[in-house]
Amino acid sequence: MDELQMIATMLDEPPAPESEAAGRRALTEGIRNPRRPRRAPARLRWPVLGGLGLGAVAASVAGAVLLSSGTAPRAPGAPQAEPMSARTVLLSAAGKAESAPASGKYWHVKTVFAIPTKVGPKKNPYWMDSQRVDETWATRDGRSWTGFREVGARPHTPADASAWKRDGSPTKWNLGRADTTRGETLVLSVAPKQGGLIAAKGGDTFSVCERALTFKQVQALPAEPGALKDRLAQYLRTSPDGAPQNVSDGLGQCLVGLLADVPAPPKVRGAAYRALAALPAVKAAGRTTDDRGRKGVALVVTGTGRAPVVRLVVDPATSLVLSRSVEQTGKLAAIKQKSVKTTFLEAGWTDAGPHVPSVP
């Protein structure tokens, strides 16, 4: 059985009961690198985990992980499934990425993300996810637009849902005044809100490893895995703010960012998958589904020290990243707002123009 057959067989089985929670987008620098806050430059900052974040992603992980099928043991003498490592999954996705179409008027990314917020009385606190859908469009000549819509809060976990019901299932929560110059009152609601569409001013840039690249610079990234890693490592060593960077920790996240967030050419996306497959910190964690019920393979990228753990759900048959999450470790793990998840609904080229997002 070859690799693609193994993947197809695995994905045809019933999904595991542990479905991924609601995705979220727009990872802040404090989430990706909690050691020191950063100020984003005055340009369009694309929410690229690999491009903006410098949380560690390169601790060594030994051995291949067998993807569990959840089926009964095979009878003696029956063919046995071969172990499938993260390398197998990523190399299969690389082949699909290299043959993906790259034509259209706009580079378009549509995501759903959620921010956990603690609400409720002191004796019965619980967490609600404030959900938002974001869409971005960018043209080859530097124009860009961002659409957004709040789609309503929902309980973070089943336990939070029970606590919410004990609280009478309220539909709104007053979160107090925002820590901004205007000091507006923040209200969390279970009801969707009207969305908006904003055209970016000035030239468009895409963030790759903390570097603001133009469309032409993204297209010119190396399409060979080794050369691509060298280029990204160079970006990490020369941070714009002069802060020392851990190249091995940041490389994995930079590669992940090239898989969905920026309009990298098919050959570059393929090289990013191949380079990621060579990192010892990446391991397969079995078949799963994302929050939308789409089947994929879970991959885990571990870090060192206080670095967060990055989890991906990838569809090897299409090379699409279905979801991406950052889970803080150590003391920061207790701060749920810093552990976030993004669900990618669409990522690719399209001729459909910018518009206010609908509720997914």
Q: How many helices (H) and strands (E) does the chain have?
A: 9, 13
Asked whether 288 and 17 are in contact (CB, 8 A), the reply is no
Least confident of 97-101, 186-190, 328-332: 328-332
pLDDT average, residue stretch 64-76: 35
Specify the higher pLDDT residue, 266 or 210.
Answer: 266
CA angle 338, 256, 141 (to 5 degrees): 105
- Give domain limits for the chain: 3-69+80-114+135-151+200-348
Mean pLDDT of the chain: 75
Write the single-letter amino acid at 290: D
**Residue 288 reports pLDDT greater than 80:** yes
**Residue 196 reports pLDDT greater than 80:** yes
Q: Which two tokens stand for residue 336?
A: 């749920």
pLDDT average, residue stretch 98-110: 90
pLDDT average, residue stretch 297-306: 77
Q: Which two tokens stand for residue 65?
A: 């992980």
For 85-97, how does the pLDDT look when each residue is reduced to its tens digit (9 = 90+)? 888 899 999 999 9
Write the single-letter amino acid at 237: R
pLDDT tier at 40 (50, 70, 90 boundaries)?
A: very low
**Residue 279 reports pLDDT greater than 90:** no
Report pLDDT for 63. 32
For 118-163, how does the pLDDT look when each residue is reduced to its tens digit (9 = 90+)? 999 999 999 998 889 999 999 988 888 999 999 999 998 899 999 9
pLDDT average, residue stretch 186-213: 85
Report pLDDT for 74. 41
**Residue 60 reports pLDDT greater than 60:** no
Specify the higher pLDDT residue, 238 or 33.
Answer: 238
**Residue 214 reports pLDDT greater than 60:** yes
Own/partner contacts of 4-8, CB < 8 Å, gap of 24 or more, are 4/92, 4/316, 4/317, 6/81, 6/82, 6/84, 6/88, 7/84, 7/89, 7/92, 7/297, 7/316, 7/317, 8/317
Burial of 135 (0-12, 13-18, 19+ CB in 10 A): buried
Asked whether 295 and 320 are in contact (CB, 8 A), the reply is no
Specify the higher pLDDT residue, 107 or 243.
Answer: 107
Please name the residue ranges forming H helices in the chain: 3-12, 29-32, 49-52, 86-98, 158-166, 215-219, 225-237, 247-257, 266-277
Rg for the chain, CA atoms, rounded: 21
